[in-house]
């Protein structure tokens, strides 16, 4: 609202949650959370690993949305 008042903008901008889907980046160094998780689980299954090591404390909550659901 402040931006609209200051600059006279007559639109609303929305920022979607974490998106995933076709064409995603699965590079462990540059990908987003979900593609990195998918890759780690895939590699663990492929290599017969008994554990998958993730990162962080596990306390943040995240939401994910498939790109087709956003575009619908």
pLDDT of 47 over the 90 cut: yes
Average pLDDT over residues 16-39: 88
Closest CA relative to residue 20, chosen from 63, 62, 65, 61: 65
Percent of the chain with pLDDT over 70: 100
> How much is the pTM?
0.63
Length of the chain: 72
- Helix, strand, or coil (residue 66): strand
**45 close to 29: Cβ distance less than 8 angstroms:** no
């Amino acid at each position: 609202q402040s931006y609209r008042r200051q600059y006279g903008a007559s639109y609303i901008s929305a920022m979607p949650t974490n998106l995933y889907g076709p064409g995603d980046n699965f590079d462990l160094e540059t990908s987003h959370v979900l593609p990195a998780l998918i890759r780690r689980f895939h590699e663990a299954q492929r290599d017969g690993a008994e554990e998958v090591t993730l990162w962080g404390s596990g306390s943040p909550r995240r939401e994910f949305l498939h790109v087709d659901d956003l575009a619908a």
